[in-house]
Structure 1
C-alpha cells in the first residue's frame, strides 16, 4: 500500500517499493524501486486545485521549465530552503521521498554514481561517477559491476571514505527490522542467497550468531572490496545498475557513527555541507560547510552558498507569498513546494516573478487502466476506443491548466530517455469521438457501452473525472464513476475490487531515469499477478511475449539501445490498450531576487537543483 505524504495530498503517486518478500521466489528476481509514491515532497502540492478554465498548453516563453536567469559562480551567503515537509529521514538508507533524496544527494549524501546537473533537461539523465571515478565497468553478462573510488573524499571528521564504508551502508538495507522506510533494491539485485520463502539469508550487519556469520559472508562475496575497488555480483543481468546506484540507499555509512534505529535524522556528511547541531522535526536545521570537503574530489556539486537553512512546516501558500514579497528573508529564499494554482496565475502574469520561477515536469504521470478481465474491456478494440475518446486536454484544464500538467499519451515521462511522442491510436490529446465510435462498431458491441471507473476522489479529481466522462459519453460510452476516498491503492489492488470495476485511475513516477522503473512494475504479469491479486498491474494485463521482451530489454548493455527497447515495449502496450496516459504533472517554484542559478532537475523528480544554486549580496 502506498503511504500518503501530507506534502502532496492530492497528487501523491502510487510507486514502489516492490513487494519483494512475496515476489523474490518468482521466475526472475524483481528490482525493488524507490517509494516515490509515498513522498513527492510537494512536487505538485497545490497544482491540483481548480481555479478557472485555462489553456492546457503552457507557453514556453513565459514558463521556464528548467532554468532561469544568467548563471553565476558566486560563493558565500545564506540560502533559505522553505518547505511544508515533513522530512521523514536523513539516514541515507531510510530516505524515501524523491525531493529528500535530491536534496540530500546534492548537500551531504554522496553515492558511487550521480546524475550530472544540467540546465538542459535532455542532458539531466547522464550518469557520472561521484564517489567513483566513473559510472562503472560491467561484465559482458551485466551480472558483475566494478567501481574504483576517488582519492581525497573525506567524511566531515576528516577520515577517508572507504570501500568498506560503501559496503557497510549498503548492508544496512538488509537489516529490514532496524532500518526501514527506504528503497530495498539491494535485496533484489545482489547475488545473496534467499530462503525458501524468498527472504534474504543475510539479515544485515546487526544480526548475530552462526546464521548471521554465514549471511555476512554471502554479502561480502556479493559486495567485495579490494582497497579502493568495489565489485558487485548481481543475481540477474542489470543494465541500469549504475543509475540504481545513484540512490542514497547505496551510499556509504561510517560504521562507528551508525546509531541503528536511533539515527533517523543523523547526518554524517561526505558532501559539501554538514548539519550544524541536530535536526528538529517540524522545524528543520542548518547545513554549513564541511571543512573536509574538496571541490577537486567532487565533479557534481558546486556548493556556492556558505550555508543552507532548511525550514519545514511552512504552508506552501505562505512560502510562496513570503518569497514573492522579496523582503530581507524572502530575497535569499527558495520554495521547495509548488505554488498553489491561484498564486501560479499571479506568478505567470508578473514579469518580475516569472523571471525568478521555474515550472518543471515532475515525472508523475496520471493514467487509466482498463480491466482486461471485465466483460467490457477484455476486447482490445473497446480498450482502444476508450483511449480514442479520452480528452486529455480537458483533464489538464480541470486539474489546474498548463502550469499544473501537460497532456500525456505515454506513461514514460519526458525526463526518461525512453520517452517518445508516438500515439498508436492517433486520436490526439483532445480525443476523437468519431474514431472511438468506429472502433466500437468494429468490436460489434451495443452502444452506449456501460462501464464503471474507480478513481481517488477529492474536489479536483471529481472535476477532472467529470471532464473525462463528458468526452466518453460523446463517443458512445456510458461511464459510471466510483469515487474512493480512503486507502485508494490498497483498495484497487484487492482482487475483489476488480469484480465490480472496469477501469482504474492511477499514477506513477520512475525511481530513476529508465523505462525499467515504469513498465515492468506496472505491466509485467510475471512479477505482478498472483493468486492474491494483481500487484500494481491493476488491469490484469498479461502478455507473455511482452513479459519476455521486458526481461530481454533489462539485460541490454548499451544505454541508448536499452531505452529504445523500453520505448518499443511502451508502444506495444499502447497498441493493445493496456493503459491510457492522461497527464504529466508540473510544479512551479519561485525564488527571491538574490537567488541565482535557479533550476529544476526532471530526473530527480522536477525538484529544485541544489548542485549549483547560489545567492548574491
Structure 2
C-alpha cells in the first residue's frame, strides 16, 4: 500500500531548519504579505513530465495525483490544504459530507455524497459514478498502473490463483455472473450513500479512499482506451485534449460550486500546464523572472546547485518553498548474512551511520534531512525517538563495542548494495568513513539496471549483507509503510523477500501488524504504529538515513505558494493564486 519509488513527495517548512548540522537558513513558506484571496489571472505550471495518465484508476505518480486532486478530480475524502504542516494530515470529507462512518468491526464503511457536486457537463456526481469508478480497478488487463488497494480490501472473493472472481465492468459476462453479484454486494448504493464491505477490518479505509483509484467516473464518458482523457468534477476542466509531451490548458468548470467544496479555492482563471522542459531550464527561467515566467511555478525540484543560489539570494528565497518529500532513504540489513544475523552487528551498523554526512553528500539541507525513522514528520505516527542512540553523526566508538559483543573479529567485512547514480555514489561513499572507524570493512556495490528486481531475487541473500532502499507512504498513515516492508507473512516466499529485502521476520511483529488495523481511534492507532516502529529499530530491521527534500520556485506574480506533504509534498494547488 506504499510506493517503492523514485517518486518525490513533501511538505513546505516554516522558519529555520537545520538540516545538515550547519547554520544554513532554508526558504520558508511565503509570508502573509504574499497571500491574496483574489480570483483571476493565468498561472503557468512548468514540468519535465511526462504525465502518463489523468485516468483516476491509472494515476500512479504522487505529483500527478496531487495536481489532479486539487484541480479536476474529487475523491470521497481528502487531506486538508494548510500552510501549517501540523494540520496537513487532517482528513476531511470532499465528495462525501464527512470522513465516513464505519461499523463497529471496521469491516464496512459508508459515505454520503454532498449535494450539488456536478460534472463538467452539468450532470450530478452520483453514488453510482463512484461505484463505477472503483469497479474499473478490477479490469486488471485494461486499467493498469494505479493503486490496486480496492482489489486487496473489498470483500470480493478470489479464485484459487488469487485473481478476483469479478473481472471489472468491461468483461463480457452474463447478467447473473457471480463476480458481478459479488461486487454489487461489496460496493452498494442507497440514494447518495455508498457502502464498502471489506474482507477484514481496515481502520483507515477512509484515508485509503482519498486516492484517485477510488474517484468517480461517469460511465457514458469513460474513455478507457485513452489514459489522458479528462472529464472533470472539480474547479477546472481541460480546454482542449491533452497533448502528450506538451501539456494542456485548464479553464474554469462553470458547473463547479465553491459551496460544495471545502478543499479547493481555485483562484486562477486558467492554468497552463507545460511539460517537456528540463527541470534546470524551468528553474532558470523562473529565477530570471522574465515576462513569461512571472506567473509561473515549477512542479519539479530545482537542481541542488541552483538550490544553493536560491537559498542565498533573498529575492529568490522569498518566492521559493522547501518541502520534505516523505520519501525516506534507508538501509535493510540482511538477516540471512552471517554478519547481520547477529543483533549486535545490526545495532553497530545503525550506531555507526553518519546521517549528516549522507545528507551533506546529497547536496545539503535543501535536498534532505537526517531521519531516524521511516515515518515522515508530517504523519500522525511520527516520533522523535532514536532507540539506537546514534544521533545525526553516529558514534563509532560505541559501535565498535557492539561489534565486540557480537563476537566478530575486526575489521568486519560487509557488502552493501545500492542503486547507483552520481548523487547516490557520493552519498553512500560518505557513510564509509564512519563504518570503517567503527570496525567494519565495507565494500560498496553500485547497481544500476533493475535495482529492486536484483535485490529481491533469492540470489541477493547470499551476495550482500546490507541493501539500500527507499519508501514513501501512499497516504498519511504508517499503515502504508511498516506492513509493506516488514510483514514477513506477505513478503517472504521461496521466490524471494518481496519488499522485505533484509528477510526480517518476527511473528510478534506480524501479529501486531494484524492487530493495529482493528484500532478504531486514529490517535491510538498511529501511536501503536509508532511503538511498533521503535521496536523494529531496536531489532535492527532497518536503519533510516534521510528524508528527501524538494525546493520549488515561483515567479514574482505568484501568491499563496506552499507545498503539502500529506498529498505528496508537491506544490499546493488548492489555493495558489496569481497577482492581478
Q: Report if TM-score (shorter chain) is over 0.5.
A: yes
Question: Deviations for 1:481-507, whole angstroms, at most 9, x for unmatched residues?
Answer: 111011100000001111110000000
1:47 equivalent in structure 2? none
Question: Deviations for 1:456-497, whole angstroms, at most 9, x for unmatched residues?
Answer: 112221111111111100001111111101110000000111
Q: Following the alignment from structure 1 to structure 2, what is the Cα–Cα distance between the partners of residues 111 and 66?
A: 28
Distance 1:265 1:474, change over 3 A: same
- Superposition deviation, residue 263 in structure 1: 2.3
Q: Following the alignment from structure 2 to structure 1, what is the Cα–Cα distance between the partners of residues 216 and 21?
A: 43
Distance 1:414 1:60, change over 3 A: farther
Question: Deviations for 1:360-382, whole angstroms, at most 9, x for unmatched residues?
Answer: 10000000010001100101011
Paired residues for 1:209-358 under 5 Å: 209-210=173-174, 213-260=177-224, 262-358=225-321
Contact 1:39 1:96 in 2 (8 A): no
Question: Deviations for 1:375-427, whole angstroms, at most 9, x for unmatched residues?
Answer: 00101011000100000000001010100000011111112111111111112
- Superposition deviation, residue 68 in structure 1: 7.3
1:435 equivalent in structure 2? 398
Q: Secondary structure at the match of 1:473?
A: helix
Distance 1:67 1:496, change over 3 A: farther
Distance 1:288 1:273, change over 3 A: same
1:363 equivalent in structure 2? 326
Q: Following the alignment from structure 1 to structure 2, what is the Cα–Cα distance between the partners of residues 399 and 189?
A: 38
- Superposition deviation, residue 209 in structure 1: 2.1
Q: Where in structure 2 are there 5+ consecutive unaligned residues?
A: 12-17
Contact 2:2 2:471 in 1 (8 A): no
Contact 1:203 1:212 in 2 (8 A): no
Paired residues for 1:167-182 under 5 Å: 167-182=131-146
Contact 1:66 1:360 in 2 (8 A): no
Q: Following the alignment from structure 1 to structure 2, what is the Cα–Cα distance between the partners of residues 576 and 400?
A: 31
- Superposition deviation, residue 327 in structure 1: 1.4
Q: Secondary structure at the match of 1:271?
A: coil
Q: Following the alignment from structure 2 to structure 1, what is the Cα–Cα distance between the partners of residues 370 and 91?
A: 28
The partner residue of 2:124 within 153, 160, 170 is: 160
TM-score (norm 1): 0.91
Q: Where in structure 1 are there 5+ consecutive unaligned residues?
A: 1-32, 45-53
- Superposition deviation, residue 331 in structure 1: 0.6
Contact 1:144 1:234 in 2 (8 A): yes
Contact 2:26 2:322 in 1 (8 A): no
Contact 2:20 2:359 in 1 (8 A): yes
Distance 1:130 1:185, change over 3 A: same
Q: Following the alignment from structure 1 to structure 2, what is the Cα–Cα distance between the partners of residues 212 and 462?
A: 58
The partner residue of 2:521 within 515, 533, 558 is: 558
Contact 1:35 1:183 in 2 (8 A): no
1:189 equivalent in structure 2? 153
Q: Following the alignment from structure 1 to structure 2, what is the Cα–Cα distance between the partners of residues 57 and 240?
A: 37
1:147 equivalent in structure 2? 111
The partner residue of 1:593 within 552, 556, 577 is: 556
- Superposition deviation, residue 350 in structure 1: 0.7
1:137 equivalent in structure 2? 101
Question: Deviations for 1:267-301, whole angstroms, at most 9, x for unmatched residues?
Answer: 10000000011000000000000010000011100
Contact 2:30 2:319 in 1 (8 A): no
Q: Following the alignment from structure 1 to structure 2, what is the Cα–Cα distance between the partners of residues 68 and 243?
A: 31
Contact 1:385 1:436 in 2 (8 A): yes
Contact 2:54 2:230 in 1 (8 A): yes
Q: Secondary structure at the match of 1:584?
A: strand
Q: Determine whether 1:37 maps to 2:35.
A: no
Q: Secondary structure at the match of 1:536?
A: coil
Per mean C-alpha deviation after superposition, the further-off stretch among 108-117 and 459-468 is: 459-468
Contact 1:65 1:361 in 2 (8 A): no
The partner residue of 2:91 within 127, 136, 151 is: 127
- Superposition deviation, residue 55 in structure 1: 7.0
1:484 equivalent in structure 2? 447
- Superposition deviation, residue 69 in structure 1: 5.2
1:78 equivalent in structure 2? 42
Q: Secondary structure at the match of 1:210?
A: coil
Matched residue count: 574
Distance 1:67 1:491, change over 3 A: farther
Contact 2:329 2:547 in 1 (8 A): yes
- Superposition deviation, residue 138 in structure 1: 0.6
Q: Secondary structure at the match of 2:461?
A: helix
**After the TM superposition, which segments of 4 or more aligned residues of structure 1 sit over 3 Å from their partners?**
38-41, 57-62, 65-70
Q: Following the alignment from structure 2 to structure 1, what is the Cα–Cα distance between the partners of residues 340 and 446?
A: 20
Question: Deviations for 1:176-224, whole angstroms, at most 9, x for unmatched residues?
Answer: 1111111110000000011011110000001112398321111111110
Q: Following the alignment from structure 1 to structure 2, what is the Cα–Cα distance between the partners of residues 36 and 312?
A: 24
Q: Determine whether 1:378 maps to 2:349.
A: no
The partner residue of 1:526 within 479, 486, 489 is: 489
Question: Deviations for 1:548-588, whole angstroms, at most 9, x for unmatched residues?
Answer: 01110122100011100100010000001111000000000
Q: Secondary structure at the match of 2:239?
A: strand
Q: Following the alignment from structure 1 to structure 2, what is the Cα–Cα distance between the partners of residues 67 and 606?
A: 19
2:546 equivalent in structure 1? 583
1:109 equivalent in structure 2? 73
Contact 1:367 1:581 in 2 (8 A): yes
Q: Secondary structure at the match of 1:147?
A: strand
Paired residues for 1:490-569 under 5 Å: 490-569=453-532
2:15 equivalent in structure 1? none
Contact 1:66 1:120 in 2 (8 A): no
Q: Determine whether 1:93 maps to 2:61.
A: no
Question: Deviations for 1:210-256, whole angstroms, at most 9, x for unmatched residues?
Answer: 39832111111111000101111001100110110001110000000
The partner residue of 2:381 within 418, 423, 428 is: 418
Q: Secondary structure at the match of 1:225?
A: strand
Q: Secondary structure at the match of 1:106?
A: helix
1:25 equivalent in structure 2? none
